[in-house]
Copies of this chain bind each other. A is one copy, B any other.
């Protein structure tokens, strides 16, 4: 980027954002508007023509894909002798909403997100807000600087300093404990409920609901009862954005 453009950016009304991004990611943004959009929650969406609202949701869609690809390649190369089931599970752990929220907070993105405090119940809803902005930021970097650049930012600025892949490998994501813990903290009741137990001559299929204060927040279905509970708990964590 020519020096005068860098100069212009540093002294523009967005200079605080430019400086923060420079410190955070190690580069000067090209198109600062992309990054502003990445931090714009839908509660403060800007109206475009045709009544379309502009927030970070489209960038989040793109960033989610880019992040998934970079992590897929990384795992493919770190684990040459593991099958695709293992790779898929490892990637899910890395890009889970819970993990992206933590990363987002570590990186200090919570300080950059614009949202309407009257309608968004921050911090109880912050989970989704933080992870979404993280993905949108990846989308913005991709559009601004291209794939190879984004890949190197993800690996050098995010994965290497903040993610311990080999520890994650040993961590089993326990959605049931997470859910029970959350319910205890918020004074809510938690139960599983077996709603269907179909049998035919060969199989027994369990359908299980996860209920919080009597309200269905997740459902799981499996031939193994424990697995059906696990799936129900995982869905419940997604619903509650834990």
Using a CB–CB distance below 8 Å, which chain A residues touch chain B? 48-50, 52-53, 57-58, 60-62, 64-66, 68-69, 72-73, 76, 81-84, 87-88, 142, 146-148, 151, 195-196, 198, 200, 205, 207, 214-216, 219, 221
CB closest residue in chain B, given A79 = B58
**Cross-chain contact A76 with B58 (CB below 8 angstroms):** yes
Query: Are A84 and B65 neighbours in the complex by a CB distance under 8 Å?
Result: no
Which residues of the other chain, B, contact A84 by a CB distance below 8 angstroms?
57-58, 60-61
Rounded to whole Å, the gap between the CB of A216 and the closest CB of chain B is: 7
Complex contact A50–B83 (CB within 8 A) = no
Complex CA gap A52/B80 in Å reads: 10
Q: How many copies does the complex hold?
A: 2
> In the complex, what residues of B have CB within 8 A of residue A146's CB?
148
Name the prevailing secondary structure of the A interface residues. helix
Contacts of A148 in B (CB 8 A): 146-148
Provided the pairs A68-B69, A196-B196, A216-B198 are in contact, do residues A61 and B81 lie with their beta carbons within 8 angstroms?
A: no
B198, A198: Cβ atoms closer than 8 Å: no
In contact, A72 and B62 (Cβ under 8 angstroms): yes
A62 neighbours in B (Cβ, 8 Å): 69, 72-73, 76
Are the C-beta atoms of B68 and A83 separated by less than 8 Å? no
